[in-house]
Structure 1
Amino acid sequence: MVKRGISGLLAPIVLFIGLGIPGAQAADTAGDPTNPGPVYATVTDKSGKLSLQTYGRPDGKDMVFRISGSVYANIEGNSLDPAMRHGQKLFNIEGYNIRRLYRVPDTNQLYQLSREIVFYTDPADPRRVLREWKNPIDGKTYPVVPINNDSVNFGPFTITSAFAGPALQQLHDETVWTSDIGVRSDLGTALGEKFGLTGGVYAAQEMFDFSVDDREVVARTGQGVPSGAMKTKISWARTSPWAPFMCLPESDVRGQLTYHARSWSLGSYAGIEPWLRAEVEANHPLYTAAPTAPGASENSWTSFYNKQLGKGATTWAGWCAANGRA
């Protein structure tokens, strides 16, 4: 889960990842005008090379950031106790972001193209995907809608030999860097749907720590175009409003959610555990591959608006009224 806008995931290894042999390049992408390799090869700054390799594989193939963590209630003054207490673990989360680097043909401009699917799972059993959730405030049971953002794209960003990434820090035998993002989006104005948010504004804080072993840094920042995915670990935290499916209006029910997760890179979709692949392939098969061209992006709220609300055919309050089961 590297980014972010509103969705904020990654987000993001005991399985094989490409070894990153300097100069190696996939034969089946060498003649592809969207292959980012030739543009990546012009970068000389170590931080620039590392950050680009979190956006996607330099050889242009799909990579994955697997995401695993938990979601807690963050309630000012513990004001909802005993129905919901501050610090209560509400969900586990399990999923991934699948991404690739895409070159605008005949340019030195790159996009990061991705899709992300993250399931809310049982707080006592991370592998049990929740289909419904009982809201302890109104006593109704609602369908659980996973984070399913198609697509999450960034760019274009121009790549030259001077391209540089964030400041790096040495901690023991790892190279680390940080990205902290304050997010504010006026959904009421943009969509005409306030989702029960205060003033119709989504406000959140996204915080990422990236970590790469120094041996991996050496292997992946030399000359040429590395193959495979860089072995990267990410710590991610987000404080944000109640998820849309919870049907808790932020303007009336004081509190937020705190997400705390780990993410790690995988060389391809095949590296994801079988139980998670089975869930995706049965119910969300689009998320087995990254997009192949730039397009509009979604986040958790616009995705809900597009898919559950029919792009405004019904309101969030109407969806909650229709789907809440006593």
Structure 2
Amino acid sequence: MSAALTALAVGVAVPGAAAGDELDDPTAPGPVYKTVTDKSALLSLQTNGRPDGRDMVFRISGSVYANIEGNAYDPSLRHGQKLFNIEGYNIRRLYRVPGTTQLYQLSREIVFYTDPADPTKVLREWKNPIDSKTYPVVPINNDAVNFGPFNVTSSYVGPPLRQMHDETEWTSDIPVRTDLKTALGDSFGLVNGVYAAQEMFDFYVDEREVAARTVAGSVPKGAMKTKISWARTSPWAPFMCLPETDVRGQLTYHARSWSLDSYGEIEPWLRAEVEAAYPLYKAAPTAPGPSENSWTSFYNKQLGKGATTWASWCAANGKA
């Protein structure tokens, strides 16, 4: 759900970026990582971050569709209609709590909603076909998305693996249920004020990459060459101003993701968009902290952490 940086290319200092820093940095994951012996654990840890402690990227590219029971809003909003493309990335690193065997995945993710006919054209506005008003498009911009801590020792194991032709595959399916009304005091138009979604991930690594990066006792450099298939069913995005209680339906996200060694490997058009308005997302966090999702991020940044309500934001920002 994701999410690298070349320090010399973009002028940002990265823990462990200089030769030998891994040995001196108390947050470097390498000393803990190299105690792991389970093949699946070695692979899954490398999707959480580079074992050498530097930033890596999962580039994300896909589409978003309307999923509407009974095709109830046809023709203005049809079931299966492609509403957006999505283009962005998750930038992440592995972080070790100094003096322990505890590892965190620390990340930020920025994903833009783009024109359904042109993936490289970032949308600034979107016309709601139900109320015919035009709203500003707010990208997925989650600072941060952190997981852990994981207690990583020689007994640490990963998920079940499956061999599929010349690739190793594993799966992570995550049901998400968050009571936003209780947690934030705003129901966002959701049924019972609860955000309910399903996140589904499939990871694929070529057998040659598996062999090269599962040598016990070693600390591989760079990002493991990984492909991910990702699908999500979730309520209408908050900027769409479609209350789930009244406009029954969901969004279906279907995307591909692939690993990159660094921020500098992202396409220039996407980096330009980030650097113009979201420069924080050029690097992963450097220490554990609270996480955001699309809804809590919207609450924090667009609603001023409760200074206004979702309904008021929609009323103020919808243009006839």
TM-score, normalised with respect to structure 2:
0.94
Q: In structure 2, which of residues 258, 274, 284 is the aligned counterpart of residue 264 of structure 1? A: 258
**Deviation, structure 1 residue 26:** 5.1
Structure-2 residue corresponding to 1:204: 197
Structure-1 residue corresponding to 2:41: 48
Structure 1 segment 170-185 matched on structure 2, within 5 A = 170-185=163-178
Matched, 1:73 2:55: no
Structure 1 segment 109-124 matched on structure 2, within 5 A = 109-124=102-117
Q: Matches of 1:160 and 1:39 in 2, distance apart?
A: 7
Q: Matches of 1:10 and 1:112 in 2, distance apart?
A: 10
Q: Matches of 1:129 and 1:282 in 2, distance apart?
A: 13
Instruction: Give 1:161's aligned amino acid.
Output: S
**Deviation, structure 1 residue 96:** 0.1
Matched, 1:62 2:55: yes
Q: Matches of 1:205 and 1:142 in 2, distance apart?
A: 26
* Greater relative contact order (Cα < 8 A, sep 6+): 1
Whether the aligned pair in 1 keeps the contact of 2:57 and 2:90 (CA below 8 Å) is: yes
SS at match of 1:30: helix
**Deviation, structure 1 residue 10:** 3.9
Q: Matches of 1:26 and 1:175 in 2, distance apart?
A: 32
Q: Matches of 1:63 and 1:264 in 2, distance apart?
A: 11
SS at match of 1:317: helix
Structure-1 residue corresponding to 2:132: 139
Aligned residues: 305
Whether the aligned pair in 2 keeps the contact of 1:110 and 1:158 (CA below 8 Å) is: yes
Structure-2 residue corresponding to 1:316: 310
Structure-2 residue corresponding to 1:162: 155
Instruction: Give 1:108's aligned amino acid.
Output: T
Q: In structure 2, which of residues 280, 286, 306 is the aligned counterpart of residue 286 of structure 1? A: 280
Structure 1 segment 169-248 matched on structure 2, within 5 A = 169-223=162-216, 224-248=218-242
SS at match of 2:305: helix
Whether the aligned pair in 2 keeps the contact of 1:26 and 1:59 (CA below 8 Å) is: no
Q: In structure 2, which of residues 75, 90, 115 is the aligned counterpart of residue 97 of structure 1? A: 90
1:265-316 Cα offsets, whole Å, 9 max, x none, are 0001011000000000001000000000011111000000000000000000
TM-score, normalised with respect to structure 1:
0.93
SS at match of 1:286: helix
Whether the aligned pair in 1 keeps the contact of 2:104 and 2:147 (CA below 8 Å) is: yes
Q: Matches of 1:94 and 1:26 in 2, distance apart?
A: 33
Whether the aligned pair in 1 keeps the contact of 2:274 and 2:282 (CA below 8 Å) is: yes
Q: Matches of 2:266 and 2:172 in 1, distance apart?
A: 25
Q: Matches of 1:64 and 1:106 in 2, distance apart?
A: 27
Identity in percent? 82
Q: In structure 2, which of residues 288, 295, 300 is the aligned counterpart of residue 306 of structure 1? A: 300
**Deviation, structure 1 residue 157:** 1.1
Q: Matches of 1:268 and 1:161 in 2, distance apart?
A: 29
Q: Matches of 1:54 and 1:43 in 2, distance apart?
A: 15
Instruction: Output the aligned Cα RMSD.
Output: 0.9
Q: Matches of 1:299 and 1:305 in 2, distance apart?
A: 10
**Deviation, structure 1 residue 28:** 2.5
Q: Matches of 2:256 and 2:88 in 1, distance apart?
A: 11
Note the residue ranges of structure 2 that are not aligned, 5 or more in a row.
4-17
SS at match of 1:34: coil
Q: Matches of 1:304 and 1:30 in 2, distance apart?
A: 39
Instruction: Give 2:46's aligned amino acid.
Output: Q
Whether the aligned pair in 2 keeps the contact of 1:26 and 1:227 (CA below 8 Å) is: no
Whether the aligned pair in 2 keeps the contact of 1:239 and 1:256 (CA below 8 Å) is: yes
Whether the aligned pair in 1 keeps the contact of 2:2 and 2:108 (CA below 8 Å) is: no
1:183-211 Cα offsets, whole Å, 9 max, x none, are 10000000001100000000001100000
Q: Matches of 1:63 and 1:183 in 2, distance apart?
A: 26
Q: Matches of 1:287 and 1:297 in 2, distance apart?
A: 14
Instruction: Give 2:210's aligned amino acid.
Output: V
Instruction: Give 1:148's aligned amino acid.
Output: N
Note the residue ranges of structure 1 that are not aligned, 5 or more in a row.
1-8, 12-24
